[in-house]
Structure 1
């Protein structure tokens, strides 16, 4: 009396959702990947490119900071290593990829 009859859907209508049905199913996944690319992957690639150009441009006399926080002036650069003067007469050899940043000229006045 108060409840209407429920009819089952035919098999032909349920088996063919169409192109738009498939697209709307994967739309959130595609959107999530696009957002992740622009928020995480692209900035990291840009940062790696900047670090590589900075490492390639290292030269004698540049003032740098290493991963460990050591400040120093570059005295020699080879293909894989950089020699840094950390105090008068004290030098240390580090890998090129351990250099994280260039400091403005004149930052290290005590050397």
Structure 2
């Protein structure tokens, strides 16, 4: 009976999550699928939106300004808003484009 005592003490305990590296890996996977992956997909979609901007597109900026693109430069766009007023803004500040069926 005394010879089995060291074997019982050496047996792994804690089940599946007893290994701290396995638990850390599982935690990283959960964080990847809930935080990092959606953020990278959203950044890619915004980058494609900015690259696809062209003259005549109706846009809304992140500040909520609605307008129509009149000129596209490398880093900026010229947007015409109400009454012929024109604003030059950074391309990265475009929130989204409006479809042609929505009112400006």
Fold in common (TM above 0.5): yes
Measure, in 1, the Cα distance between the counterparts of 2:53 and 2:26.
Answer: 40
Residue of 90, 93, 102 corresponding to 1:98: 93
Measure, in 1, the Cα distance between the counterparts of 2:53 and 2:78.
Answer: 11
Measure, in 1, the Cα distance between the counterparts of 2:68 and 2:100.
Answer: 10
- Report the TM-score, using the length of structure 1 for normalisation: 0.74
Alignment match, 1:71:
66
1:37-76 alignment runs, 5 A limit: 37-76=32-71
Q: Is the 8 A contact 1:74 1:85 kept in 2?
A: yes
Q: CA RMSD in A?
A: 2.7
The answer to whether 1:25 aligns with 2:20 is yes
Measure, in 2, the Cα distance between the counterparts of 1:93 and 1:108.
Answer: 22
Computing the radius of gyration from Cα coordinates, the structure with the larger value is: 1
Residue 40 of structure 1 aligns to a residue whose secondary structure is: helix
Measure, in 2, the Cα distance between the counterparts of 1:25 and 1:106.
Answer: 55
Aligned residue-pair number: 96
Unpaired runs of 5+ residues, structure 2, are: 3-8, 13-17
C-alpha spacing 1:51/1:57, structure 2 compared with 1 (3 Å): same
Aligned-pair CA distance for 1:44: 0.5
- Report the TM-score, using the length of structure 2 for normalisation: 0.79
